[in-house]
Each structure stands twice: as structure tokens, then as C-alpha cells.
């Protein structure tokens, strides 16, 4: 079924026929594409192409303007050289994830273009899956295009109207915003209103948004725009022409203002458009993973999902400190003698406190313990643009690295390393081998890295080609040392965990920490599965049971905008092979019956079935644990009450299951009654149904086990 998009060119259909992609070249020789779904236009004819930086090699800076130089155009003057169609269908097994197997099934069209005036070639590769589109630019090896610099990528996504968007502002420095839900036409005014708050001025655009961007049309189509396999390239934001509702790619520049230094043969990341008339298909899509290369880690047996606790929330809430002293160690790292300074007595990472966490982990079956603030340098790490900041190997005097290693080992618990880089990249790279070697020596299987603050080298952005190459370098080097990585503040994921499954986590969005920094919107967690999670799992760090932060730190009046049952549900709705029980361990002791769910819940899945979904309002998912007959169900709601109505028809027919249902009590509310929950047991079968109310900021969690 071909809708007329006014294009008379090449077409490609998805395997199920729901999608039609059209490609053509206009009178100026510019490539165009359009996409329809079930006969409805999704992307109207949209330009494709790239603009190169002209001038001499030394002139590439933000000021450089387009010369009348045909060589800067990779967007017009093209004619069609050849078109090749092919089909692909394989099923592969991820090392960990939401499903045990993933089908990668698409029809492909490879369009080769020739720019006669410059004798250059450009290839466009389109892959049409049953749930959407991926396409990228490829630069074949050729005489007239070998080393080149991008001024901008000119990919357009011309939408059909003033859709609802679930967005965070475009920014080169942070991704940790609450989402705004608005019409596209409202983005400009809402961004300008927020500008004074926290938007970084250097990267400000009043109509810029980050991906993964979720959209909903007025007639109920869900459209998601993101990217896959972001390698050796700047991260793609989108900038809106809000008169015509056309988004254009807006690549994060390097410090010199260019968007990437490339060499042929090479390719850009994939641009993805996932589409459905059923919201449940968006989080269930595997397009992002499928567009990445198969695993490069031949023996992944050392990559194992982990559930962990940590010396962390106490510093985030301000109950204790990362630093050891208030005295300023005046000299550079490695030369400060911490035995001579006066400790302030509020240090979190003390041997004694860490042992308490190890004992707790061992007692309750957790795999690991994360400790932050264990290494010297926390006194002046932030805001001082220190090049030589941390060394990642020297512990504070009250953290007995060796003793803790032996203690944890004796209890069967693994330690999780923490490397806050302070965004001093050269410093991290100069210490990286030694830091990873120390981890190997003390058998730390995983590192949480962090990139808080402005990047050094100064002037670099958080998501440019240059720094994306650093994140990738740290990940690949970690793989050499058999280390798993959970990178905070690094560029949001784009499915690279298929290729490097040691990337077991990223933060790269607003995580639980903001609940102690003033609070997040109660519906935030029901937006994330449609946005941030499209690229990969998030180290969201759920499991907060004490919502009144002033109980931990009288000076912190922040409130966790979630119910306790909602916090349990997150282990299922925000699937991740790395899950923290983030609260202080003493708070779990107060609610042992609810804590049981966190102990029981699985981390790795055979199947995932999205039962109910509407971005920002509710999401309900059932997941079957890998190599087990146990199921877990999670629901989170939004800002208003939600009645979930689900069938258990996913269960094995003929079997009886004990369901333990952890739900909001009737009078629960995220604001004034968050700890009101109920736990009940029921026997259910594949014929059972459940109606369950989740209060504002609420949710429910269920564990299901077959019984005789
Ligand atoms: C920000 C991270 O998101 C948080 O988890 C960490 O504790 C701090 N940086 C300090 O590294
Ligand atoms: Ca963070």
C-alpha cells in the first residue's frame, strides 16, 4: 500500500508490509526520503545530506561560514548510481537483556549516489524492520573523499503536524532533565522559560531537544526518533523548525566547532524511527540493538548481571561525605599526606561502614557493594577544573583496600569500583591501566565511572566525537581487563552493549539522585522506557523506602516523589542487568516484607511482555526470569491514579502460580503517604485477571512462582 508522498523514486517495504520507505532525488540533486506506516505518512519527504567544512585544514572553527565551494556540499548535485535490495533474517542471543533471543529481520535498500561535479560517491543504507526504520550515510573509499570534516549533518525528519512531544532540552553538557510533555509548537516558549534555570548557555537552542525523542500524533501514532551505534561521531540532538514541524539533526560539536573529523571508508551512526499505533511496541522494539554489530567479546562468561547495595545514598542525601577532611590538600594528587590532615568525621567510605554493607549484602544475597569516596581527591574535585585530580588507586587512610578485599571475598561479595573522573579526561586516561590493574588485583568485576563537570580539555563538550571516542576507549580497554562498565554522565546509550556487552549500565538521564536534589516529577519513570531506555539499560538506582530526606539530613528538605510500591516496580519496568538497592540499609530493616521483593527479583530475562503502556501515564510489563519458571510484573503510573487491568495469559496454561502482590494502599500518595503499601498472596493461573489501582507516583510489583 503506497501512499502518495509525491515521490516517484525507489521504494522499500518492511517484511510485514506495514512500512513503506520512499527515496528520490529532487531537481537540485538532493536526496529525499519519506516513511509511511499502515498507509499513513509518518515522515514527509525530508532532505538527507551532509555539509563539509570548507577552507584550509587549520580554519575549522565555529565561525567558519560556507564558502562558495562545491566541495562542502554532500547534499546536492547527486544522481543515482545504483540501488540494491536485500533481505535479512537472523535470531541472536544477547549476553543479558530483556529477552533471551532477538530477531533481526529487515529489508534493506542500498542507494549509491554519485556527485558528478566532484566525482564523489555517497551511499545511503536503509533498513526497514516490522517496527520501524534505520538508515545511515556511508562514505566508500574513494580518491576525492578521504579525510574530511563535517560542518553539519543535514538529516531532516519532516513530521505531519503539531505532535505531542516528550522532550528534554538540547544541551551539550547534561542529559539530567525532567521531561516536558507538550506540543511541538510549545517547545520554544517552554525552553526559553527554563533557560534562566539551568540550561547551559553555550549550547542553547530554543527549539533543540535530545533523543531518544518520543512523539505522539493527534490520531494516536507513536513515533520515536533516536540513533544506533554512535561511534566516532558526535551525538545527535534535533533542532525543530517549529513553523513547519521539521526536525533537523544537530550534531554535538567538538571544541573547534566542527561536528566530526572523518576518514573514508566509514559510516555515520544509524538514525532510527520506531513507529506504532500501539505504545507498547515502542519499549519492546529491538531496532537499536539490531543496528549494532554483533559482540566483539568472544568469551563473555565473565559478564554477569549484578544486584548491589552501596555507600552512596548517604552522600547523595548529605548524611555523610565523599571527602575525608575539610582541610584543603593544597598540593597535587599523590603528594598530599592525608595522615597529617584533620578528618571531619563524616566520611562515608570507612572500613567499618563498608564492612556493614558487605555483611548486609552477604546476608540478603546481593552480588556487590559499591563504595564511593574511597580514594583521595574528593576535597576539591568539583568546579576547580583540576587537571590532576584523582589517581584512582590511592585510598583514604580510613579505607583499608586490602582488608576490605579479603573481608568481601570471605563473605562471597564482590566490590564495585568507583571512578569519578571529574571529566578530566586526559587525567583518567593517564591512570586508566593502573586503575584497571588495581581492580583486577582486588577482583572488582565492575566499575561505576562518572563524568561530572566541565570536560578537560577545556572547551570540549560532553557528547562530541572527541569525548564519545573516550567513552568507547574506556569501555574497550575495560573489556581487555574483563571489567564491566556503568558510566554516569557519559553520552546516552545507542545499543552499543550488543557489541560490547560489558557496558552493563549507563546513567545518562535524570536518575534517583535528583529525588535528593529537590525531587523529580512523579511520572518521570513512566517516560523513561520511551526515551532514555530506547538506547539501553539505565543505572536508575531505585529502591528508596524513606521518602523524607530530612530524616537522613535535617538540612535537606527534598522529598522522593514516589510511593514505596512504585520503587519496587522499577526493578521490573526499568530493566537492567545492574540494579541497585539504593537506600540506606537501615531503611530496609524497617520494611523487611517489602524488601523481600528486591531480594527476589531477577536481573536477566527470557521474555518481556509489555501489557499496558502510555508514555508518562503508565507502563506495565511482565518478565520471565532467564532459566527459571518465575515471572515478575511491574507497573508504574503517572501524576494521576491509574487502574491497571491485566490478564495473566502469559503464564503457562495448566499451571498454578503463587502471586505475591506488592501494591499501593488505597490511601497512599507519593506526596503525603508514600510508605502505605499492601502485600497479598493469591493463586493465579493463565486464566486469571487483575485489576489494581496505582496512586499518583505509585505502582505495583508482583512475583509469580509455580506451586503444586
Ligand atoms: C554523579 C553520579 O550520578 C552519582 O551517582 C555519583 O555519586 C556522583 N556523580 C559522584 O561521582
Ligand atoms: Ca548523574
Q: Which of 321, 379, 507, 513 is catalytic?
A: 513
Per-residue three-class SS string for 246-274:
EEEEEECCCCCCCCCEEECCEECCEEEEE
CA of 488 to the centre of ligand 1 (A): 7
Q: Please tell me the distance from the alpha carbon of residue 370 to that of residue 448, in angstroms, as a whole number.
A: 8
Which of 378, 450, 506 should be mutated for ligand 1, with most atoms under 8 A from CB? 450
The per-residue pLDDT of the chain, averaged, comes to: 94
Residue 205: band (very low, low, confident or very high) from pLDDT cuts 50, 70, 90? confident
107: left (phi over 0), alpha (psi -120 to 50) or beta: beta
Three-state SS at 41: strand
pLDDT score for 129: 99
Which of 309, 317, 377, 420 should be mutated for ligand 1, with most atoms under 8 A from CB? 420
Q: Please tell me the distance from the alpha carbon of residue 91 to that of residue 660, in angstroms, as a whole number.
A: 34
513 is catalytic: yes
Give the helix/strand (H/E) hosting 380. none
Residue 508: band (very low, low, confident or very high) from pLDDT cuts 50, 70, 90? very high
CA of 448 to the centre of ligand 1 (A): 9
Classify each residue of 146-179 as buried b or exposed e, where b means 16 or more C-beta atoms within 10 Å of its C-beta.
Answer: eebbbbbbbbbbbbbeebbbbbbbbbbbbbbbeb
pLDDT tens per residue across span 425-449 = 999 999 999 999 999 999 999 999 9
Q: Which ligand is nearest the CA of 448, by number?
A: 1
| Contact (Cβ atoms closer than 8 angstroms) between residue 161 and residue 174 | no
Reference 304, options 550, 626, 530; nearest CA is: 626
Q: Which ligand is nearest the CA of 382, by number?
A: 1
pLDDT tens per residue across span 659-695 = 999 999 999 999 999 999 999 999 999 999 999 999 9
Q: Please tell me the distance from the alpha carbon of residue 268 to that of residue 249, in angstroms, as a whole number.
A: 12
pLDDT tens per residue across span 304-362 = 999 999 999 999 999 999 999 988 755 455 567 888 888 999 999 999 999 999 999 99
Sign of CA dihedral 556, 557, 562, 568: positive
User: What's the mean pLDDT in 536-546?
Assistant: 98
Q: Which ligand is nearest the CA of 422, by number?
A: 1
> Is 7's pLDDT higher than 80?
no
C-alpha distance across the termini of the chain, in Å: 51
pLDDT score for 56: 42
CA of 108 to the centre of ligand 2 (A): 38
Which of 370, 423, 513, 542 should be mutated for ligand 1, with most atoms under 8 A from CB? 513
pLDDT tens per residue across span 457-480 = 999 999 999 999 999 999 999 999
pLDDT tens per residue across span 144-158 = 999 999 999 999 999
The rounded radius of gyration (Å) of the Cα atoms in the chain is: 26
| Contact (Cβ atoms closer than 8 angstroms) between residue 489 and residue 451 | yes
Instruction: Mention every residue, 6+ apart, whose C-beta is less than 8 A from residue 356.
Output: 585
pLDDT tens per residue across span 82-141 = 999 999 999 999 999 999 999 999 999 999 999 999 999 999 999 999 999 999 999 999
Q: Please tell me the residue having the least CA distance from ligand 1 atom 10.
A: 420
pLDDT tens per residue across span 602-659 = 999 999 999 999 999 999 999 999 999 999 999 999 999 999 999 999 999 999 999 9
Q: Please tell me the residue having the least CA distance from ligand 1 atom 3.
A: 488
> Is 65's pLDDT higher than 50?
no
Decide if domain 306-594 falls under CATH 3.20.20.70: yes
> Is 491's pLDDT higher than 80?
yes
Q: Which ligand is nearest the CA of 316, by number?
A: 1
Taking the CA of residue 418 as reference, the ligand 1 atom at the shortest distance is 11
CB atoms within 10 A of CB 239: 16
Q: Please tell me the distance from the alpha carbon of residue 18 to that of residue 275, in angstroms, as a whole number.
A: 10
Domain extents in the chain: 7-159+227-290, 306-594
pLDDT score for 338: 84
pLDDT score for 67: 42
CA of 489 to the centre of ligand 2 (A): 5
Q: Please tell me the distance from the alpha carbon of residue 565 to that of residue 697, in angstroms, as a whole number.
A: 9
Q: Ligand 1 site: residues with CB under 6 angstroms?
A: 312, 372, 420, 450, 452, 488, 507, 513
Q: Please tell me the distance from the alpha carbon of residue 528 to that of residue 179, in angstroms, as a whole number.
A: 9
Q: Which ligand is nearest the CA of 509, by number?
A: 2
Q: Please tell me the distance from the alpha carbon of residue 679 to that of residue 560, in angstroms, as a whole number.
A: 21
> Is 57's pLDDT higher than 50?
no
The grid coordinates listed for 706 are: 509455580
Residue 203: band (very low, low, confident or very high) from pLDDT cuts 50, 70, 90? low
Q: Which residues, by Cβ under 5 Å, contact ligand 2, an ion?
A: 488, 507
CA of 508 to the centre of ligand 2 (A): 7
Q: With pLDDT > 70 as the criterion, what percentage of the chain qualifies?
A: 94
The grid coordinates listed for 282 are: 515502542
Transcribe 486-532 into DSSP letters: EEESSPPP-SGGGT-TTEEEE--S--GGGGGTT---TTGGGTGGGTG
pLDDT tens per residue across span 262-320 = 999 999 999 999 999 999 999 999 999 999 999 999 999 999 999 999 999 999 999 99
The grid coordinates listed for 136 are: 545511515
Reference 246, options 279, 215, 269, 201; nearest CA is: 215
CA of 556 to the centre of ligand 1 (A): 17
Reference 50, options 351, 247, 214, 260; nearest CA is: 260
pLDDT score for 59: 42
Residue 64: band (very low, low, confident or very high) from pLDDT cuts 50, 70, 90? very low
pLDDT tens per residue across span 568-590 = 999 999 999 999 999 999 999 99
Beta strand 306-311 with 578-580: parallel, antiparallel or unpaired? parallel
| Annotation: CATH topology of 7-159+227-290 | Beta-galactosidase; Chain A, domain 5 (2.70.98)
| Contact (Cβ atoms closer than 8 angstroms) between residue 620 and residue 701 | no
Q: Please tell me the residue having the least CA distance from ligand 1 atom 6.
A: 450
Transcribe 614-645 into DSSP letters: ETTTEEEEEEEETTSS-EEEEEE--SS-EEEE
Question: Which tops the pLDDT comparison, 327 or 554?
Answer: 554
pLDDT score for 47: 97
CA of 666 to the centre of ligand 1 (A): 35
> Is 161's pLDDT higher than 50?
yes
CA of 510 to the centre of ligand 1 (A): 11
pLDDT score for 194: 73
Q: Please tell me the distance from the alpha carbon of residue 435 to that of residue 53, in angstroms, as a whole number.
A: 39
Amino acid at each position: 500500500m503506497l501512499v502518495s508522498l509525491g515521490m516517484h523514486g525507489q521504494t522499500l517495504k518492511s517484511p510485514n508490509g506495514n512500512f513503506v520507505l520512499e527515496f528520490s532525488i529532487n531537481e537540485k540533486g538532493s536526496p529525499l526520503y519519506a516513511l509511511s506506516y499502515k498507509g499513513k505518512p509518518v515522515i514527509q519527504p525530508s532532505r538527507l545530506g551532509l555539509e563539509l567544512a570548507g577552507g584550509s585544514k587549520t580554519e575549522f572553527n565555529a565561525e567558519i561560514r560556507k564558502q562558495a565551494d562545491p566541495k562542502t556540499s554532500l547534499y546536492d548535485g547527486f544522481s543515482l548510481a545504483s540501488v540494491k535490495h536485500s533481505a535479512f533474517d537472523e535470531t541472536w542471543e544477547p549476553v543479558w537483556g530483556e529477552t533471551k533471543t532477538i530477531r533481526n529481520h529487515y529489508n534493506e535498500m542500498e542507494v549509491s549516489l554519485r556527485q558528478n561535479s566532484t566525482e564523489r560517491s555517497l551511499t545511503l543504507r536503509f533498513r526497514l524492520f516490522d517496527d520501524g526504520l534505520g538508515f545511515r550515510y556511508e562514505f566508500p573509499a574513494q580518491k576525492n573523499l578521504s579525510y574530511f570534516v563535517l560542518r553539519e549533518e543535514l538529516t531532516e525528519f519532516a513530521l505531519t503536524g503539531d505532535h505531542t512531544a516528550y522532550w528534554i532540552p538540547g544541551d551539550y553538557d547534561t542529559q539530567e532533565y525532567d521531561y516536558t510533555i507538550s506540543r511541538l509548537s510549545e517547545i520554544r516558549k517552554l525552553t526559553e522559560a527554563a533557560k534562566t534555570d539551568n540550561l547551559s548557555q553555550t549550547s542553547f537552542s530554543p527549539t533543540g531537544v535530545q533523543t531518544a525523542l518520543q512523539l505522539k500524533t493527534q490520531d494516536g501514532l507513536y513515533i520515536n526518533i533516536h540513533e544506533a551505534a554512535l561511534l566516532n561521531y558526535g551525538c545527535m540532538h534535533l533542532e525543530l523548525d517549529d513553523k513547519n514541524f521539521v526536525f533537523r539533526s544537530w550534531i554535538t560539536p567538538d571544541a573547534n566547532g566542527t561536528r566530526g573529523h572523518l576518514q573514508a571508508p566509514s559510516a555515520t551512526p544509524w538514525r532510527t524511527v520506531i513507529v506504532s499505533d500501539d505504545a507498547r511496541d515502542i519499549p519492546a522494539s529491538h531496532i537499536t540493538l539490531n543496528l549494532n554489530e554483533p559482540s566483539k567479546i568472544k568469551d563473555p562468561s565473565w559478564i554477569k548481571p549484578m544486584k548491589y547495595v552501596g555507600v552512596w545514598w548517604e552522600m547523595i542525601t548529605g548524611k555523610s561525605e565523599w571527602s575525608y577532611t575539610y582541610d584543603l590538600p593544597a598540593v597535587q594528587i599523590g603528594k598530599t599526606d592525608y595522615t597529617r590532615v584533620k578528618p571531619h568525621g563524616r566520611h562515608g567510605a570507612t572500613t567499618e561502614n563498608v564492612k556493614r554493607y558487605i555483611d548486609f549484602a552477604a546476608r540478603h544475597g546481593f552480588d556487590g557493594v559499591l563504595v564511593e569516596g574511597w580514594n583521595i581527591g574528593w576535597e576539591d574535585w568539583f568546579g576547580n577544573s583540576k587537571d590532576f585530580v584523582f589517581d584512582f588507586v590511592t585510598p583514604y587512610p580510613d579505607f583499608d583496600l586490602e582488608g576490605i578485599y579479603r573481608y568481601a571475598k570471605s563473605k562471597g561479595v564482590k566490590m564495585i569500583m568507583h571512578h569519578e573522573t571529574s571529566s578530566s579526561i586526559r587525567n583518567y586516561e593517564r591512570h586508566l591501566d593502573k586503575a584497571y590493574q588495581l581492580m583486577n588485583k582486588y577482583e572488582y568485576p565492575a566499575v561505576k565511572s562518572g563524568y561530572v563537570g566541565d570536560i578537560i580539555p577545556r572547551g570540549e563538550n560532553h557528547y562530541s566525537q572527541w569525548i564519545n571516542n573516550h567513552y568507547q576507549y574506556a569501555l574497550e580497554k575495560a573489556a581487555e581487563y574483563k571489567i564491566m562498565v556503568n558510566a554516569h554522565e557519559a553520552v546516552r546509550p545507542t545499543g552499543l552493549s550488543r557489541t560490547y556487552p560489558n557496558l552493563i549500565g549507563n546513567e545518562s538521564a535524570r536518575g534517583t539522585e535528583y529525588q535528593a536534589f529537590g525531587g523529580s516529577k512523579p511520572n518521570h519513570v513512566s517516560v523513561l522506557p520511551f526515551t532514555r531506555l530506547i538506547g539501553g539499560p539505565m543505572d536508575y538506582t531505585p529502591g528508596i523506602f524513606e521518602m523524607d530526606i530530612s530524616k537522613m539530613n535535617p538540612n535537606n528538605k527534598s522529598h522522593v516523589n514516589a510511593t514505596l510500591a512504585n520503587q519496587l516496580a522499577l526493578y521490573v519496568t526499568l530493566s537492567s542487568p545492574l540494579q541497585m538497592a539504593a537506600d540506606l540499609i537501615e531503611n530496609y530493616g524497617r520494611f523487611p516484607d517489602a524488601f523481600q521483593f528486591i531480594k527476589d527479583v531477577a536481573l536477566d530475562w527470557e521474555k518481556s511482555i509489555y501489557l499496558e503502556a502510555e508514555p508518562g501515564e503508565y507502563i506495565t510489563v511482565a518478565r520471565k526470569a532467564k532459566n527459571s519458571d518465575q515471572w515478575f510484573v511491574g507497573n508504574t503510573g503517572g501524576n494521576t491514579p491509574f487502574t491497571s487491568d491485566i490478564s495473566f495469559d502469559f503464564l503457562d496454561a495448566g499451571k498454578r502460580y503463587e502471586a505475591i502482590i506488592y501494591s499501593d494502599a488505597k490511601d497512599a500518595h507519593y506526596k503525603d503517604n508514600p510508605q502505605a503499601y499492601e502485600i497479598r498472596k493469591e493463586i493465579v493461573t493463565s486464566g486469571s485477571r487483575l485489576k489494581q489501582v496505582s496512586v499518583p507516583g505509585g505502582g505495583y510489583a508482583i512475583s509469580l512462582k509455580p506451586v503444586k
